Every structure is written in structure tokens, then in C-alpha cells.
Chains A and B, each alone.
Chain A
Amino acid sequence: MIDKTSSEIAVQASRHPHISKTSLWLKKGVPTGALVVLALFPLLQIAFDGYNYWLHMLLYVFLYVIMATSWNLIGGYAGYISLGHNVFFGIGAYLSGMVFVFFQISPFLTAPITGLIAMLGGLLFGLIALRTRGSTFIISTIALVLLVTELLDNWKLTGGTNGLPMSMITLEGQYAKIPYYYYLLVIMVLSIFTSYLIRHSKFGLGLRAISQDEIKTEVAGIPTRRYKILAFGISGLFIGMAGAIWGSYLTYLRPSIFLPVNIGTTIVLMAILGGKGTVSGPAIGAAIMIAVNEFVVAKLGATELNIVVTGLILILVLLYFPEGIVGTLKAKNLLPSFLDWG
């Protein structure tokens, strides 16, 4: 509530036309420029080939930006930490994947509907689980992931732990990744834009008030329960869609791909590292973590150490850097304006 709303910024901008013109230009120009570069990047692959590795890495970044940004809606804004957000990822992948296997309808078509169903699942889970708070809530999210994992592990229709192969018709190697790339890019932009809109709305204000003091917020007449449940549901929407696309990108469904707890933890880490409760933080955290992970794998070659690095960074960030990159820079007034989206 201490932070400025966009209208206040606009008022200030009109008061200081000289300073704010360049800063407003930077604020809008840099993200737009970055988006144009990302949108044009696949042309390199189409023209010259040999960029598939980079497309793959960017796909990873998009996926985790979507997940961390979505997590932030409930975990960052409202302060309800979920360690099980990859449940939506699994739900999305399995729903669209099964529709494809049994009815041959492309996940590209069903992804939005899958996202909506994931959101519905989120609303439903939120309806019961959000009556608890603090550590009880965190534990209930872990319980959810474990429960869904066990169910999928035992479900014969989806092949249990062995999983379900999806015989996708794919483009030839040079172009194969491009449709996925654009699809995830669009979901990512939508998720960040949604986060931005919520951050600057009355709804977002209410969520952030909940994270400060829920009882006072409720006394102030804000329907806290409805807000929390809605935020939890919306946070499932884009992750569910991304899950549908990711399932078809991998052409294989298996609980151990989508539901391991360390995915849920990684999402939390990314959002907190970047700055929970900020719009750009989770995206930045996701990009940095994937770069770090890739570096660790390339340098040390051992995937076991991957999880050690994730765990250690999470501990250090939680204890010594809880405001994250964006939060800390903002507090010190060092945040470049093009990253300050609220």
C-alpha cells in the first residue's frame, strides 16, 4: 500500500515532464524491444538452422517464467506460499495429452480449455485449503502434489508410473520447436500482463493487504476469502495451459516429469529470488535460475548436484535475501525504470 499506483506515477509524470518522458520511454521501450527480439528470434533458426539449443533453452525460460509469475499471484501478492503449484502443470499436461491420445485433438486447440479446467481445479482446492494459513497451508499444498502423484502413478488409463506416449505429428527438425516457442511466448506475455493488471487493480491491492495483515484487511471490508480463492484459481490458468503445450512438446506424459516436488520448489525459489510480490521479479528469477542450472549441468555434469544448488540457493535467499533482486533494488531506488512494473 506504500507503493505507488500507476495513476500516481502518471500524476507525477505530468508534474515532471522532463525527467519522466525519457523514463516513460525506457519503461515502455525496453520491454517492447525485448519482446520484438524474442518474437523475431526463431527467424534465425528458420534461416540458418543450428539455433535449436537456444530455442529449447528459451522454451524452458518461458515455461518457468509462466509458472513463477502465476505462483506470484497467490504466493507473492497474497503471501500464501504454495509448494505444489506444479500440480496445475501436471493437470494441464495430462488433460490435453489424454484428449489427444483418445480423441486425436491437438493440445494446441485444447490448451486454453485445459487452462480453464486447471483454474477450476485451483478454485476448488482453494475453496477448501485456503481456510488454513501459514505452515498449514504450505503443508496442504505438498499433500496435494503427493496425492495427485500417487493417483496418477496408480491410474491404469494413463499408464501409471510408466506414462503415456503421445505420437505427435511433428514438423521436420529444423522447424519442430517453433510452434511451441510462439505458443509459450504468447502464454508468457499474457501471464505477465495479467499479473501487471492485477498488481495495479483494487483486487491486487486487496491481495497485498492480505499478505500484510489478513484480519485487518477483512475488517476493512475486503472479501479476503473470495480474493484468495480467485487469485489461487487464476494462478492455475496459465500454468495449466503451459502444461498442455509442454506435454505435447515432450510427446510423453509421466508423473515423474510434471509432479516432482523439486519443480514446485524451483518455482517458489525463482519467484522469491527475483522478488516475490513484484511483477517483473519472478520472470527475472526464472531466467536467472535456468541460466544457473544450465551452467551447473554444463560445468559439473552431475544432475544430483543440480538439486543441491537449488536447495542451497533457496536457503540463502530465504535467510539473507528475502526481498529478492527486484524488491531489494527497488528498496534502494536502484531498480531501472524498465523493470519497475510495480
Chain B
Amino acid sequence: MGTLVVENIVAGYGSGPNILRGLSLTIEAGKTYCIIGPNGAGKSTLVKVIAGLLKPREGRIMYKGEPINGLRADQVLQRGICYVPSDRSLFPDMTVKENLRMGGYILRNSSLVEKRIEQIFIQFPILKEKRSQMAKTLSGGQQQLTSIARAMVLKPELIMLDEPSLGLAPKVVQQIFGTIAILRDQGLTILLVEQNARKGLENADQGVVLDLGMNSFERPAVEVLHDPRIQELYLGKRSRPLQAEAAQ
């Protein structure tokens, strides 16, 4: 089925240093993966490379047995891989509906796009309510929802969400993960990059830990969640000496 295989990817920005240094990863169809790791580990870089927004310097990416590295972003979208950037970047001076329409930009069939938007409106009534509002007037959570919905217009098989909870209030984060759960139920393959490692892992099948541009390991999410090393490093449970320091 639609397995995504990332093989020995080396990548970086401009003439800068390598951020990803020979990363390999296999994403199986229908599962939700949560990628965690410290700042600068290359989590966002990885999804940008897969999305075709950044050309890898070495290595290859196979999707359904075909190489997709070196394809343009629109060609990657054509294959059913969508990317939701971390900054919720919408088109600020377009309405919610126009933003969703732009989500279907690569589909030349505009009546199909309209039909899909109607489906999305049924699924997320709040978007229907706000459909003629300019995107820049939405709240953070609504913007994130619009951003995810914009990707859904293409009915992707694989969706990559880059830090969907970034900068949102806890209650809104809850709602966003609710949305992600809906996507899971629909059988989508999900690649989730999360700074909020606990929340991310709780909502994933597999956990992937990235460090220094290489994947340290990949395990079922529950195991990662309860791994003491991970708890210490990324889940906020500090070991004793640190607590002792804090106490002083």
C-alpha cells in the first residue's frame, strides 16, 4: 500500500550546514506517527523535504514504490501528500472560503472543489459560519482549523502537520487534537511534528525520536511515552539532580 520510505536524507537550507544527516524512516499507510526531538533536530526540515519545498542534498524518498524526491511541491500534492505548515500560514486578505478554494488549486475542476468545500463545511460547521470572513480576522484556533481544512480539500492520503498546537491555548489545543482524531478515524496516514511531545504521543500510533538530524529510534507511541529517558528529556519529568538544583 501507500508506504512512504525516507532513505538516508541529507538536507539543509541555502548554503548552510546539514540539518538532516542521513535520516531514514518508514511511514506505513494508515498509521499516525508523532515525531519528537529537541529544537534543531530537523523535524520541520524533514516534512518540508517530503513536501517538495526543500530539495534534499542526498538520499531519496519513495512513495508507493516511486521516487518523489526532486518533485516540485505541486507534484507531491498530486500524489496525495499534503503539508500543513507550522505558522498556520493562510492568505490573510482572502476569505475562509477563498482559502479553502486555494487548497484545491491543483485540481482544475472547480465544481469538484466546491463539492469538497461543502463536505468540509458539514464536517466543520464553524468554518461555514466564518466562510466569508477574511482569514486574518480569525482566532488562532480557527486559523489552524482552516489551515488543516485547506489541506483536506485535496482528500490526501498522507497529511503532515507541523506543530499544529504551536502558540494555542490549552483548550484550543484540545480541539485541534480532536480534529486530528477525526482524520485518524478516516484512515489517513498522519505525520505529526510536535513540540508538545506528550500530547502528540498520546494521539499517535508510532513515536519517532529525532536527534541531530538522524532518527534515534522509532517505537510504538505508548512505549516512547513511558520510556524513562524520553520522559526525562522531552516530557518534562526531570531527574533528581535537576530538581535539586531548582530547589536551591
Are chains A and B touching in the complex at the 8 Å CB cutoff? no
